A and B are shown apart, each in its own frame.
Chain A
Amino acid sequence: MYHKEKSIPIKNSASALYNNLGVLRIAPRRLTYFTVVHANVVNMVSASWDGLNYSHRQLQSKEPNVATSASLIMQAAFCSLQSRELLVVTSQKGIQMYESDGSIMVYWHALDTPETTTAQAVFARGISAVPENYICVGVSSGSILVFDVPSKGTNISLSEVLDEHKESITDMASECSGSQECIADLVSADDGGNLCVWKSGEEFQLLHKIHGFDMSCSSVKLWKGTVVAGYGTGQIRLYEAVTGILHAEVNAHARWINSLDIAPFSGLLLSAGEDSLVRVWLLNLTPETNSVEIAHLHNECVTDTQICGAKFCDSDGYAFAVTGYDLGCHESPLPRVGAAGAGWRETVQD
């Protein structure tokens, strides 16, 4: 179904973090941006679709007026709003928002960090754009920060703080189908596996809270009113967003799941984790019976690699890219042990 393409080199290896791959397709220029976090650096590569040109950029987690060490980065993700695209980087110190090519930092939000290190870690993690003009970012305290983003310029402001979660936010996702019929348009997950379903607006409204089972939910997606959640147990669960009804449970991976992604046009689901496997599933909605089915389609094994990021490269799911812990571009004299951003593309059947 898919065949492996040439690997995309990145400057540093990927760190073991949840959802450690950002993908943004720039169709007019026939290229794709990839971002991978390495400790306190975001490695960005812009790859032309013909595979001939790569240009690299590195973003440091430098904060203004901070004399101490560079902080570790937790996540980097592209946010597509109606009129602009931003790259959002979260770290132990705060939240940085860049133009999507990484050229200019347009906004910086500092986290409240205590003077002495506390037992409770402080960081921001979980990034999602919410149409039309919001970017939501999770915090280790369980809060969700809602930023109001104007259609251009740097006049970004913190418009709301949502305090429903009691544990560290792990991931967040907005409705990706673009369907106007769905009431819920944001889902957030935390370390206890709790999920909150939200309706966006000038004031965000909590629609439903799905209680966890003390197991971290590391990655979450929302597609056509269905919440898709991946857990540390290796399980994937499908819930109806507004009611919290469990539609299906899949024992998908033998180890911790680090990444989920959905191709909104086709309903393909990508899951990957520490068991070195990437699996492709198909979600099928039957509106008459109000049910969701999930079917398994494909596996890829990235040998001896704990996968930390996996994402489709387009809305149909024709191709996907993968990163793994310690995978990077190893220059000579070492033989290439593999490169991060390994990509697969659907095999065209003649």
Chain B
Amino acid sequence: MSSRTLPLLFINLGGEMLYILDQRLRAQNIPADKAKKVMNDIITTMFNKKFLEELFKPQELYSKKALRTVFDRLAHASIMRLNQASMDKLYDLMTMAFKYQVLLCPRPKDILLVSFNHMDAIKDFVKDTPSILGQVDETYQQLIEMYTPMCSGEFQLIRQTLLIFFQDMHIRVSIFLKDKVQNSNGRFVLPISGPCASWNTSPRLDKVPLMFSCTGEEVNRLKFTNGGNYAAATREGSFEIFGDRVTKLGTNMYSVSRPVETHMSGTSKSSAQKTKVNAAPNPLAKEELNLLAKLMGRLEEPNPGNTDSGFRVNLFATDEEEEEALISRPDELSYGVLKIQATKDLQANAELAKIMGEFTVSGDQSPSASSKGDDLLAMMDGL
């Protein structure tokens, strides 16, 4: 479907990841300098110029597995380590949060405002580090250039593409359950009151439904039972680099008093059966993913906690809980993270191979990069 979906999927999921990590770093009393380093390293990797160049090229979405692998690498782009259960939980929270935002967007174009809310927050995370801020601002410009000229139908196509990606995911998230925006069956609550969607703020939209003849004369004011009770549309948010986005979707919903939690019980068994449809790997996507993963980090699995400066973050209250979660996680929910290999198919794509070649050369020049988990930054700079 829309070939312009991937940048928005990546930036919004990345934004949600940063919200959660920020909250966990605080909750676990990680020293400020280390926490800062983690946030800065991840944001630097996320907004790496070469990586974004690839990301912004028109393309189909990756498989769920492939995208999960990209975020595994991104989460481990710094000195922080997450074990399997915490990573699963982190990814569940990120995806359900963005699914909620996509589903609840009153207008398709609001997806861009949701993305800007994430970008605004990311800018705030790195406000003291001008070099990273510059990178983020550049991406901002790219987003504005690419997306603001799009019509409502194109945004709806992006939204439909995202909703297919998130289809049949019904993981219950406690912050949503507490706020009563998610039901116990994992479905999100859709309001049948509040402002209606249209940009048009003429009084015609004060009541839905309303009827007008061709002369604009109100023909028949109807009162419905059980048919919704809507108010006039809210004003449109700002699509500039600075401004009020109006919508709260995509802003940080976590705080120390509203911690990160998930309920994993009762997740849909059938969801796994259904993901089969999307699980069939797209050979092209896999090829591109190999490149992306290479750009994002070393090919070998990160060595957990092997450096003195490294530390582990837990998405659960205690280590015991985390262990329990890993054991009790239903098989169907396992992402079965894809092993990345530089396949020979890649050679077929000369351009991709060239970029990969460039990477390999610079990688070889900095041998320290491949030995330490905390030096990805140096590797990325080597590009």
A256 and B197 contact, CB distance less than 8 A? yes
Which residues of the partner chain A approach B186 to less than 8 Å between Cβ atoms? 337
Pairwise interchain contact B108-A250, C-beta atoms closer than 8 A: no
Residues of A within 8 A of B224 (CB): 296, 299
A254 within 8 A of B: yes
10 cross-chain pairs, A with B, having the tightest CB-CB distances, nearest first:
A191-B153, A69-B282, A216-B153, A254-B196, A299-B227, A233-B198, A16-B163, A254-B230, A251-B210, A246-B214
Bound-complex Cα distance A301 to B225 (A) = 11
In B253-304, the 8 Å CB interface with A consists of 266, 268-270, 273-274, 277-278, 280-285
Please name all residues of chain B whose beta carbon is closer than 8 Å to the beta carbon of A306 when the two chains form the complex: 103, 190
User: Would A170 and B1 be within 8 Å (CB), given that A39-B277, A251-B210, A253-B208 are in contact?
Assistant: no
Contact B213 A248 (CB under 8 A): yes
Query: Which of B74-82, B130-138, B154-162, B362-370 participates in binding chain A?
Result: B154-162
Cβ-defined contact, A252 with B208, below 8 A: yes
Q: Is the interface of B mostly helix, strand, loop or mixed?
A: loop
Asked if B190 and A234 make an inter-chain contact with CB atoms under 8 angstroms apart, the answer reads no
Of all chain A residues, which has the CB nearest B3? A117
Expressed in whole angstroms, the minimum distance between the Cβ of A152 and any Cβ of chain B is 34
Asked if B246 is at the interface (CB within 8 A of a chain A CB), the reply is no
The answer to whether B196 and A234 have CB atoms under 8 Å apart is: yes
Can you name 28 A-B pairs with beta carbons within 8 Å?
A13-B168, A13-B274, A38-B274, A39-B277, A39-B278, A167-B153, A168-B153, A233-B197, A247-B213, A248-B211, A248-B212, A248-B219, A249-B204, A253-B209, A254-B228, A277-B192, A277-B228, A279-B227, A296-B209, A299-B225, A299-B226, A304-B183, A304-B189, A326-B167, A328-B274, A331-B273, A333-B266, A334-B270
Interface residues of B in 201-253 (CB under 8 A from A): 204-205, 207-214, 219-220, 222, 224-228, 230
The answer to whether B185 has its CB under 8 Å from any CB of chain A is yes
Check: B106 CB closer than 8 A to any chain A CB: yes
When the two chains form their complex, are residues A337 and B187 in contact, meaning their CB atoms are under 8 A apart? yes
**Does B164 make an interface contact (CB < 8 A)?**
yes
Chain B neighbourhood of A218, CB < 8 A = 156
Residue in A72, A168, A330 whose CB lies within 8 Å of B270: A330
Chain A positions within 8 Å of B281 at CB level: 69
For the complex with contacts A74-B1, A116-B58, A275-B228, 18 further pairs of A-B residues with Cβ separation under 8 Å are A12-B274, A15-B164, A38-B274, A68-B283, A68-B284, A72-B164, A121-B4, A216-B153, A232-B108, A232-B156, A233-B197, A248-B211, A256-B197, A277-B227, A296-B222, A301-B226, A306-B190, A331-B273
Using known A-B contacts A16-B159, A304-B187, determine if residue A39 contacts B205 with beta carbons closer than 8 Å: no
B-to-A contact residues, CB < 8 Å: 1-4, 57-60, 103, 106-108, 151-154, 156-157, 159-161, 163-164, 167-168, 170, 183, 185-190, 192, 196-200, 204-205, 207-214, 219-220, 222, 224-228, 230, 266, 268-270, 273-274, 277-278, 280-285
CB-nearest residue of chain A to B211: A250
Nearest CB of B to A79, in Å: 23
Q: Which residue of A lies closest to B213 (CB)?
A: A248
User: Which A residues lie within 8 Å of B228 (CB)?
Assistant: 254, 275, 277, 301
- What count of chain A residues pass the 8 Å CB interface test? 75
Q: Please name all residues of chain B whose beta carbon is closer than 8 Å to the beta carbon of A295 when the two chains form the complex.
A: 220
Asked if residues A334 and B58 are in contact (CB atoms below 8 Å), the reply is: no
Nearest Cβ on chain A to B108's Cβ, whole angstroms: 7
B103 to nearest A CB, angstroms? Answer: 7
Find chain B residues with CB under 8 A from A120 CB: 3
CB-CB under 8 A from A325, the residues of chain B are: 103, 163, 167
- Beta-carbon contact of B209 and A92 below 8 Å: no
Q: Contacts of A276 on B, CB cut-off 8 Å?
A: 190, 192
